Amino acid sequence: MKLFLTLIAGLLCLSSCSPETPSDKEKITESKETFPTGEKSASGRTLYEANCAGCHDASVGGAPKPGDKSVWKARLATGVETMVKKSIEGYEGTAGVMPPKGGNASLSDEEVRTAVAYMASTVK
């Protein structure tokens, strides 16, 4: 029953997003910058609020809430680059499903990277 409700909630969230269209994915390169600061932080927050908050704030489909250390601990241990890669390509884990680019194919890889880095920065 829990899985069914999670799937329904995820579908409702995705129904408000534009469908993904095939595109060439940019290769993710290692970055020394882990957390955004200044202008990048503000941009990350704006991107998060416009594209990610709908699922992450309500923990739809197992989406980790920003600032929740207990659910972010294992994710942060994999590194921001791994989280970015999974966010761009999509990921199905034990806690739920992350559609590619959160279901918004119009986001650039760099926008996804900035939003992920913002979310990671909330877990200090």
Q: Is the pLDDT of residue 37 over 70?
A: no
The DSSP secondary structure of 66-86, one letter per residue, reads TT-HHHHHHHHHH-HHHHHHH
Q: 3-31: per-residue pLDDT in tens?
A: 544 555 554 455 444 444 333 333 333 33
pLDDT at position 46: 94
Q: Is 117:34 a contact under the CB 8 Å cutoff? A: yes
Residue 110: give its domain's CATH number.
1.10.760.10
Q: Is the pLDDT of residue 53 over 80?
A: yes
Residues 25-49 have a mean pLDDT of 57
pLDDT at position 18: 43
Q: Is residue 95 part of a domain?
A: yes
Q: Which pair of tokens denotes residue 119?
A: 């979310």
pLDDT at position 40: 53
Q: Is residue 29 part of a domain?
A: no
CB neighbours (10 Å) of residue 40? Answer: 16
pLDDT at position 105: 95
Q: Is residue 23 part of a domain?
A: no
| Overall number of domains in the chain | 1
Q: 54-108: per-residue pLDDT in tens?
A: 999 999 989 999 999 999 999 999 998 999 999 999 999 888 899 999 999 999 9
pLDDT at position 41: 56
Provide the residue range defining the domain that includes 82. 2-13+34-121
CB neighbours (10 Å) of residue 36? Answer: 20
pTM above 0.95, yes or no: no
- CA 20 to chain centroid: 15
Q: Is residue 62 part of a domain?
A: yes
> How far is the CA of 101 from the CAs of 61, 69, 124, in angstroms?
15, 23, 24
